[in-house]
Amino acid sequence: MNFNIRDATKEDCKDVLRMIVELALYEKMPDQVKISHEDLERDGFCPNPCFGCLIAEVPEENKSKEGFTTVGYALYFYTYSTRKGRAVHLEDLYVMPEFRGFGIGKGLLSNVAKVTKEKQCALLQLSVLDWNTPSRDFYAARGAQDLTVTEGLHLIRFDEQSLDDLGNDAPKN
């Protein structure tokens, strides 16, 4: 199947949000999506964007059952490793189920890797749910290492309430 991968534009944000919701449903976390397409437009297409995004498109003759030609996305942002330097965090890589197995996911991941190298970053990192064996296998087949196993690393998060509580404990200047 023919497909094209390109940088997302502001006009793609509704499709990106649609697929973010689809991914959240698959990950059994639909209630965790709190952003809007306006948030994506503001945060990704401003003078100092918070993220980069790639889009996978198919020709009109291969559109989805629902009529979509935008069938996948990869959303990433820059971070920093005190051990390795510049890094990229791949927040989401998603391909609609009916378009899996055609190389679209690999194409998106390869293009994120290309961006990572072009920006002189040393690492490409991501998180995968422990039960998501298909995704873990997908990344492992392309050379990714599971740091939970090899280094015993755990992903730690402060949510909005935790941030408020922690911030309230900050010493006053």
Q: What is the full DSSP assignment across 68-106?
A: -SEEEEEEEEEEEETTTEEEEEEEEEEE-GGGTTSSHHH
DSSP state of 32: G
**Which residue in 73, 76, 94, 139 is the catalytic one?**
139
> What distance in Å separates the CA atoms of residue 17 and residue 15, rounded to the nearest whole number?
5
Whether 139 is catalytic: yes
In sequence order, the β-bridge partners of residue 78 are: 88
- Reduced to 3 states (helix: H, G, I; strand: E, B; else coil), residue 56 is strand
Task: Give 35's Cβ-side CA count (13 Å radius).
Answer: 17
| Residues recognised as catalytic | 139
